[in-house]
Amino acid sequence: MMLDRILRCRSNVERRPLSGEKSSSRMRIGIDALSLSRRRTGIGNYVCSLVQALTRLAPSHKYFLYSNREIEPQLPERTIQKRVDPMFRWCPGSLWLLTRAQSLIREDQLDVFWATGPLMPRGIPAGVRRVATVYDLVWLRYPETMAPHTLFVYKMWAEASIAKADLIVTISVSTRDELIATLGVPASKTFVIYPAASERYKPQDRMIAARYISAKFGVPSHYMAAAGTIEPRKNLEVLIRALGILKARGQLNCPLLVAGAQGWRNSSLFRLVAEVGLSEQEIRFLGYLPTEDMASFYAGAQVFLFPSLYEGFGIPPIEAMACGTPVIASDSQCMPETLGNAAILVLAQSPELFAAAITRVLFDENLRRSMGAHSIRHAQQFQWEESAKRLLEVLQIPTSQAR
């Protein structure tokens, strides 16, 4: 069973004493906090949740957060020191990390540096363990879906940074296997640490949640939901075409609400909406939704749609599942691993199959209830505390074993 596989994969890190159990040694841990210095999306939520859990599990360690912009304020100050370099706020974060972060790292005399992405600062002193996180290989698999500047930086430095890392964290078995096969990374250096849904994502009264979203955003209370940065890789085009199919059949009885900041190259997406003949009453782009609204957004939806072409894990559908919402997603990359048989998975490139799946869920209340209950159970397999324990074990691996 898929859930059994997921649970087995959680054990791929050898069990070691955690701080507060058998080990009383204190570490100085540096963390790339660039994803915490802007409106958080998937990666920012992953990093923030793990940092919060780490400080609860191991408060005796000292944590240093590095960025050239202001950092998320809601983090415990007692164990965390924010190391912000505001003089270089103008510099793109990835370039700042590569070229400037080393000076702060040297000053802080770290034991370990956790790069919360595949880019590792240059000039990290010898003896500092280097742990990198790889979410996916999008710059190699789907380079056309990345902004030109970001693609340039990743093409230039990502593979070299991954090679220099002592240990590598991935967020799924799928990403780990792809990393090993594509870049030749030794399996012994890799550790799978799954994301999870925040505690704020939990079952609630669907009607109350839907009314809240309706009143706040001026939309119908009977809606479908999608979430993610509006960019080509998220494959929203297939949903637009699926809605067009449903409209032509007279089966589009509730609108699709899309939550997510605009990425790049999305003007063609909005042209497609007009070409298909959809109005604002049938699809509405809400823009970036505050974190405090997302739980109601998920919980109030009849169904959550996630057609992405490529993901390292896919946090939004797990968040929706935690709220008890049925999920229809693409069968791409890691989706079978992440969602298992708790979601309906369809071919990512097929508007017809998405339209059929949407019709099936919207017009079958018993199916929605059954899927919602299954979704809650599935989402509970992923827990931030468990993920933080695994990360702490990785960070505590001695240098002699890490190299």
pLDDT at 4: 46
In a domain, 97, yes or no: yes
In a domain, 41, yes or no: yes
Task: Please indicate, yes or no, whether residues 261 and 396 belong to a single structural domain of this protein.
Answer: no
Task: Please indicate, yes or no, whether residues 253 and 395 belong to a single structural domain of this protein.
Answer: no
Q: 99 versus 283: which is more confidently predicted?
A: 283
pLDDT at 398: 78
Instruction: Tell me if the pTM is above 0.85.
Output: yes
User: CA–CA separation, 403 vs 398, rounded Å?
Assistant: 9
pLDDT at 388: 96
Query: Are the CB atoms for 273 and 281 separated by under 8 Å?
Result: no
Task: Please indicate, yes or no, whether residues 180 and 264 belong to a single structural domain of this protein.
Answer: no
pLDDT at 181: 96
Q: 101 versus 5: which is more confidently predicted?
A: 101
Whether residue 179 has pLDDT greater than 50: yes
Whether residue 144 has pLDDT greater than 50: yes
Taking Cα atoms as reference points, which of 166, 131, 137 lies closest to residue 154?
Answer: 137
What is the average pLDDT across 16-41?
A: 69
In a domain, 331, yes or no: yes
Query: Are the CB atoms for 163 and 189 separated by under 8 Å?
Result: no
Query: What pLDDT, in 10s, does the model give residues 238-249?
Result: 999 999 999 999
3-state secondary structure of 345: strand
Instruction: Record the tokens describing residue 291, joined without a space.
Output: 């974190």
In a domain, 201, yes or no: no
Task: Please indicate, yes or no, whether residues 226 and 326 belong to a single structural domain of this protein.
Answer: yes
Task: Please indicate, yes or no, whether residues 161 and 250 belong to a single structural domain of this protein.
Answer: no
Taking Cα atoms as reference points, which of 225, 231, 118, 237 lies closest to residue 171?
Answer: 118
Strands 28-32 and 167-170: unpaired
The dihedral region occupied by 343, where left means phi > 0, alpha psi between -120 and 50, and beta the remainder, is: beta
Query: Mind giving me the DSSP string for 192-252?
Result: E------TT-----HHHHHHHHHHHHT--SS-EEEES-BSGGG-HHHHHHHHHHHHHHT--
User: CA–CA separation, 317 vs 304, rounded Å?
Assistant: 7
Task: Please indicate, yes or no, whether residues 165 and 302 belong to a single structural domain of this protein.
Answer: no
Task: Please indicate, yes or no, whether residues 84 and 7 belong to a single structural domain of this protein.
Answer: yes
Whether residue 291 has pLDDT greater than 90: no
In a domain, 29, yes or no: yes
Average per-residue pLDDT in the chain?
Answer: 88
Lowest mean pLDDT among 55-59, 109-113, 149-153: 149-153
What domain range is 238 assigned to?
A: 206-379
Say which residue the tokens 């879906």 belong to: 145
Please report, for residues 117, 160, 328, 329, 384, the alpha-carbon distance to residue 357 in angstroms, rounded to integers and kept in the order given: 35, 43, 7, 10, 31
User: CA–CA separation, 395 vs 118, rounded Å?
Assistant: 16
Number of domains in the chain: 2
Query: Are the CB atoms for 72 and 84 separated by under 8 Å?
Result: no
Which run of H or E residues covers position 8? helix 2-9
pLDDT at 38: 64
Task: Please indicate, yes or no, whether residues 157 and 34 belong to a single structural domain of this protein.
Answer: yes
Question: What sign does the dihedral 86-90-91-92 (CA atoms) show?
Answer: positive
Task: Please indicate, yes or no, whether residues 330 and 397 belong to a single structural domain of this protein.
Answer: no
Q: Is 148 exposed, middle or buried (0-12, 13-18, 19+ CB in 10 A)?
A: exposed
Query: Are the CB atoms for 126 and 134 separated by under 8 Å?
Result: no
Which run of H or E residues covers position 112? strand 112-115
What is the average pLDDT across 242-264?
A: 90
**What is the torsion angle, in degrees rounded to the nearest 10, for the CA atoms of residue 193, residue 11, residue 137 and residue 89?**
20
When pLDDT is cut at 50, 70 and 90, the band that residue 402 belongs to is low
Lowest mean pLDDT among 3-17, 310-324, 327-341: 3-17
pLDDT at 400: 58
Task: Please indicate, yes or no, whether residues 78 and 218 belong to a single structural domain of this protein.
Answer: no
User: Which residues fall within 8 angstroms of residue 6, CB to CB, at 6 or more apart?
Assistant: 194, 337, 340, 381
Whether residue 176 has pLDDT greater than 80: yes
Task: Please indicate, yes or no, whether residues 155 and 286 belong to a single structural domain of this protein.
Answer: no
Strands 304-306 and 283-287: unpaired
Task: Please indicate, yes or no, whether residues 332 and 263 belong to a single structural domain of this protein.
Answer: yes
CATH code for the domain of 269? 3.40.50.2000
Taking Cα atoms as reference points, which of 118, 83, 117 lies closest to residue 101?
Answer: 83
User: CA–CA separation, 198 vs 206, rounded Å?
Assistant: 19
CA 286 to chain centre: 20
What is the average pLDDT across 84-100?
A: 81
